[in-house]
Structure 1
Amino acid sequence: MSQDYTLVIHGGAGEEMMLNTQVNEVIEFALQTALVLGSQVLQQGGSSLDAVQRSVEAMEDCFLFNAGKGSVFNKDGKNELEATIVDGSAGRSGSVACAKSVKNPIKAARCVMEKSSHALIVGDGVEEFLQGLEEKEKPVGPEYFYTDIRHRELTAKLSAGNTLKNNHPQTVGAVALDRWHRLAAASSTGGLVGKLKGRVGDTAVVGAGIYADDKLAVTCSGDGDAFLRHTVAQKIASLYHHKGYSLRQACREVMTENLKGFCAGIIAVDTKGDAIIETNAGHKSEFSHFMV
């Protein structure tokens, strides 16, 4: 590795994505933009925490990803967003879930980490907490999150029931190692299309879809309920720390043993600078990794 820092990002693991070339090119451009913005932070001597937040914010601002502006609708036709950011070197994290009027949930998650005594805030409590801060961000209305493609997905899901696959990208995420060997992870998502009101996925739960400590950082995407039930990110860390597995071996072991039959993708980085991507997603252009 020629650089003394590493950034890995992904735009979500989806099933059987059938996108035309033009849309795929736009998605690739959006991913590259998110990569550049995050890598600039690292190039300028910034922290891994700032880098992962910047990359995820960029993906939240793009309607093509299932996070922030591009979030899917729940069964009631509403948007409920979640995000987590983890400072591995400091052993701290912040999460939000079921947020309804937050433009950038990853920014809100960092506020929870740095400006509250809690690790997770849910529902109306997210907006109330943010409005109580000195530096307030203006809430956005439901029209901000509305896109025709997401509305069509909801209509199709409600018509087909559980037989319709989740053919849209899931959680977006980033992991980074900065030049001071500090690790961080960030993830954001709109969840599952047609989900029940109040459903919380793995993205908001440290140890399920995201994890970071002073040795490795992990983010996941795919079937969030499977990641929750199998505490996937924590299992990877446990194999790495206690069983002597390499980062790649740990990711592959969990993918094989716990995620067979589920749409899944994992990105990870450790203090050695090793960067890993493992995915069984049918369409891989969105679940891409970029190292700088």
Structure 2
Amino acid sequence: MKALSTAIAALATLFVFALPVSAQEAAEPRWSIAIHGGAGTLDPDEMTPERRAAYEAALQNALDAAKAVLANGGSAMDAVKAAIVPLEDDPLFNAGRGAVFTWDGKNELDASIMDGRDRSAGAVTGVTSIKNPILLADAVRTDSPHVFLMGTGAEQFASEKGLETAPPEWFATEARREALERMKARELSALDVDHKFGTVGAVALDMAGNLAAGTSTGGMTGKRWGRIGDAPVIGAGTYADNRSCAVSATGWGEYFIRVGVASEICSRYRFLRITKAYAQSSERREWLEQQNYPQGIADAVMQEVKELGGDGGVIIVTPEGQALFSFNTTGMYRGRATSDGVNEVAIFADVIEQASETP
């Protein structure tokens, strides 16, 4: 009889733990947002003050758009899109306008998005005329029976849904074209001409306790043969689950796919939360809560990427409202804001370029 009671208690614990965070906790509603605009080999001495200011302003602009959604009670999904769209429109980043060129001189765009409430997801790859690929990825999630569409089929679907398109000259920039020309002329690799991965992404927690993640990219300079990186791959570059966390990645996609970076981080954190739920004493639970395990998990997964030979970074938001970064490069364009008053943007490792507190 005692064994049966123990089993029932265990099942009840798991059942409660499987509920959305909002159903488990009656804490004061909070929100968080984290964004990135690429990670890579970044040197403060090689960046002019004007260019640095431009990146900081672009990151803050995206943060402000997402903050406005979340502070007014909007959804995490809407906040993710609100952050990513201006980054796609900004030629500073390798997503949408400003995307890198393929070997054949085209801009091919990838994006994915995921809702932590029900793990619904949408992704597109190899589109060339969609002004904001993140919006197409979301339309795939909400208005199609599929998760992943590619190329001309994805563009046909976008046309049927009335999504905004743009001509090739909208996406093309001289800096990206010059990078491709240098690559071909000097027989360089993509990593030689792309010292950063300009993929953009956002992760968010809304006041209803729901999580979301999204990622958008132009891929790698000179990519060939229809190469696809991690950004549009659910579980590699993007993942969100209310039971664990929301993750968006940027970096050398082949390695992020092999590790399954986004889902790996979320899975490890979900198991940690189950461990906390099973803790036999309040002292043990309190001790576990005081440990910065989300950061440790993210750092450990990024170390695995590094050990395989890859580099890049991730942004994470947890159900508890933590907004975190982890990267194994010298810098990552990034920002975060929370309902507790945090507002930061940063570029280089261990340096906050701009921070402010709101009352």
After TM superposition, the score normalised by the length of structure 2 is 0.77
Choose which of 260, 281, 289 in structure 2 pairs with 1:231: 260
> Quick check: 1:126 aligned with 2:154?
yes
Deviation at 1:238, TM superposition (A): 1.9
| 1:156 aligned partner | 182
| 2:200 aligned partner | 172
| 2:302 aligned partner | 255
Choose which of 59, 63, 66 in structure 2 pairs with 1:38: 66
Q: Which has the higher helix share?
A: 2
Q: Following the alignment from structure 2 to structure 1, what is the Cα–Cα distance between the partners of residues 182 and 126?
A: 23
Q: Following the alignment from structure 1 to structure 2, what is the Cα–Cα distance between the partners of residues 140 and 289?
A: 28
Letter in 2 for 1:179: M
1:10-37 deviation line (CA, Å, top 9, x unaligned): 1111224543221111111011000001
| 2:278 aligned partner | none
| 2:36 aligned partner | 10
Q: Structure 2 stretches of 5 or more lacking a match?
A: 1-26, 276-291, 339-359
Deviation at 1:161, TM superposition (A): 2.2
Secondary structure of the residue that 2:187 maps to in structure 1?
Answer: helix
Letter in 2 for 1:290: R
RMSD of the alignment, in Å? 1.8
**8 Å Cα contact 2:109/2:126 also seen in 1:** yes
**8 Å Cα contact 1:94/1:111 also seen in 2:** yes
Q: Following the alignment from structure 2 to structure 1, what is the Cα–Cα distance between the partners of residues 28 and 210?
A: 18
Runs of 4+ residues over 3 Å off in structure 1: none
Letter in 1 for 2:174: D
Q: Following the alignment from structure 2 to structure 1, what is the Cα–Cα distance between the partners of residues 269 and 245?
A: 9
1:232-275 deviation line (CA, Å, top 9, x unaligned): 11211221122559211210111112333422111101111112
- Write the mapping of 1:181-260 to structure 2, written as runs, cut at 5 A: 181-214=209-242, 215-243=244-272, 246-260=293-307
Q: Following the alignment from structure 2 to structure 1, what is the Cα–Cα distance between the partners of residues 259 and 267?
A: 13
Letter in 1 for 2:248: T
Secondary structure of the residue that 1:12 maps to in structure 2?
Answer: strand
**8 Å Cα contact 1:267/1:289 also seen in 2:** no
Deviation at 1:2, TM superposition (A): 9.5
Letter in 2 for 1:145: F
| 2:167 aligned partner | 141
After TM superposition, the score normalised by the length of structure 1 is 0.94
Secondary structure of the residue that 1:204 maps to in structure 2?
Answer: coil
| 1:269 aligned partner | 317
Secondary structure of the residue that 1:259 maps to in structure 2?
Answer: helix
Larger Rg: 2
Structure of higher RCO (CA pairs closer than 8 Å, 6+ residues apart): 1
| 1:70 aligned partner | 98
Deviation at 1:3, TM superposition (A): 7.4
Range with bigger deviation, 274-283 or 9-18? 9-18
Q: Structure 1 stretches of 5 or more lacking a match?
A: none
Q: Following the alignment from structure 1 to structure 2, what is the Cα–Cα distance between the partners of residues 170 and 3?
A: 33
Deviation at 1:283, TM superposition (A): 3.0
